[in-house]
A and B are shown apart, each in its own frame.
Chain A
Amino acid sequence: MPPRNLQAALEALLFSSDQPLALSLLCESLDAPAEAVLQALRGLEADYAAREAGVQLRDIAGGYLLVTAPEHAEWVGRLLRGKKKMRLSRAALEAMAIIAYKQPVTKSEVEAIRGVDSSAVLGTLLERNLVTIRGRSKVVGRPLLYGTTQEFLDYFGLRDLSELPRPEELRALVAAREPEQLEMLEVMAEVASDLPAGDSPHEVELLPSGEAGAADRAEELDHA
């Protein structure tokens, strides 16, 4: 039997959780079909928006999460007094981007693109659980392969990997940053059409903990 007031029950569930709740989990807990839960989610979102509530409903990392509204970030930040995690360094963000687009990817591939040793930043990303070991490549030396985690999606507020800008969108962004090179866009599209499209030489040997699905999405991204 679904709850009498589905939207209120849904709100209760979301309130109780500090991490995104998947639709399937919500349906199961509320004993309600997906359409009904989705409708209740939309209703809740609309209610919060209508009364300019202090919280918002967000669709993050494959689930639904109640968060404080961004316009109140200052006050919540004061309450927390800087107890939030450190921002990622520029170097870590670069390595993060390469892993997100090229996963599963080895450390030496990351380093080849960045042109610098990346052991330390990779260590940081692993420690913060933004990156995980996906398995081993079958190339010589069987190097470890890295990929992104759920925490990665959560940390960057992404619904899933498909929310990352596509390679061609990135190229447009690069061009927009450097207007004098706008005319080069066509040439770029030709010359760089394989970037960062998948040229992954890896036959992947998945570890038991590997997150299925994310890798497929990366593949889709690559071939898009």
Chain B
Amino acid sequence: MIDPESGPPIGRPDLESPAREAPAPGAAPPSVATAEAVPSRRAAGLAPGSPPVLVKLERFEGPLDLLLHLIKRDEIDIYDIPIAHITQQYLAYLELMRSLDLEVAGEFLVMAATLMRIKAKMLLPLPGVGDEEEEGDPREELVQRLVEYRQFKEAASTLQLREEERRRLYERGLLPGEDEAGPLPLAPATLFDLLDALSRVMARVPETTVYDVRGEVYDLEEKMSLIARTVAEDGAVQFATLLMRCHARAEMIVTFIALLELVKLGQVSVVQAEHFGDISIVARAPEERETDASAEPPGGA
């Protein structure tokens, strides 16, 4: 909706109407047609080709919110609402919303009907003195609702202040841990996932027959510390990347066994974002790792 304080001066459909118009008995009630005519006249005033009008919209939570806004804006006494005036303003706003192609929720229409019913009741001559006392002021129920709602809006404002204050106080543990840091929720990969990944990478590598007869080229412990170092430095390493760095199938296999050892020792975790997706090797969360610091990797495979 239009924010009359900061918005451009379009859409003040009440400009012509006196603020505190009391429904005088006998006087011709302002018709709905008049109220609707205001925004459309305004719309007609926008010549074709004129620069687009920027309208700052305030989203009203509902019809009560809009009514409170009108009451506040026109400095109306909530306990003595000039019902003809407020109905006119209310309908003008609905019309404005419609002309701006905003969807008017059903609740707004129900309230429009309520307002018009109250207005009609106030204009009708009262049948008898006795009835008058029983009927009471037709506005009363609406006033009660508005007063109650306004009070809860105030309560909401105080909650908002408290929310803002509390947000400036940080308790421990708000920094996400390593496990939560990833962009995707990662499922633990099983040994079979690892084996699948191994066979996929192996298949990608063309089989080159290299007869390399150097003995003990690929040391398991060396591979283990290499993986551990890589993970520690980079935070994580892709399983495929790790294997692609290998020069021979034998080296891949030693790397793979080294990885299994590290997993067994709890020094790294293997995680997988999705089925058949790439497997990542990540460092264990610190609390899980603390007992492993002293563990010695066993020699040999």
Contacts and interface: CB of A to CB of B under 8 A. Distances in A.
Most A CB contacts (10 A, CB to CB) among B111, B167, B169 go to: B169
Interface string A53-91: 000101000000111111001001101100110011011
Interface residues of A, number: 58
B136 to A, nearest CB: 13
Interface in B146-201: 147-160, 162-163, 165-176
A84 B72 CA distance: 35
B240 interface: no
B147 A68 contact: no
Contacts of A101: 152, 155
Contacts of A191: 79, 143-144, 147
A196 B62 contact: no
A70 B165 contact: yes
B113 interface: no
Contact of B152 (A83, A94, A116, A188): A94
B223 to A, nearest CB: 36
B77 interface: yes
Contacts, number: 143
For this complex, into which size category does the number of interface residues on chain B fall? Answer: 35 or more
Q: Is the interface of A mostly helix, strand, loop or mixed?
A: helix
A170 B169 contact: no
B interface secondary structure, majority: helix
B33 interface: no
Interface string A19-58: 1000000000000000000000000000000000000101
A15 B171 CA distance: 9
B287 to A, nearest CB: 13
Contacts of A88: 160, 163
A214 interface: no
Contacts of B105: 116
B171 A195 contact: no
Interface of A: 15, 17-19, 56, 58, 65-70, 73, 76-77, 79-80, 83-84, 87-88, 90-91, 93-94, 96-98, 100-101, 113-117, 154-158, 164-165, 167, 170-171, 173-174, 177-178, 180-181, 184, 187-188, 191-192, 195-196
List of 9 A-B pairs having minimum Cβ-Cβ separation, nearest first: A116-B62, A157-B166, A18-B173, A97-B155, A67-B169, A73-B168, A115-B64, A93-B156, A70-B168
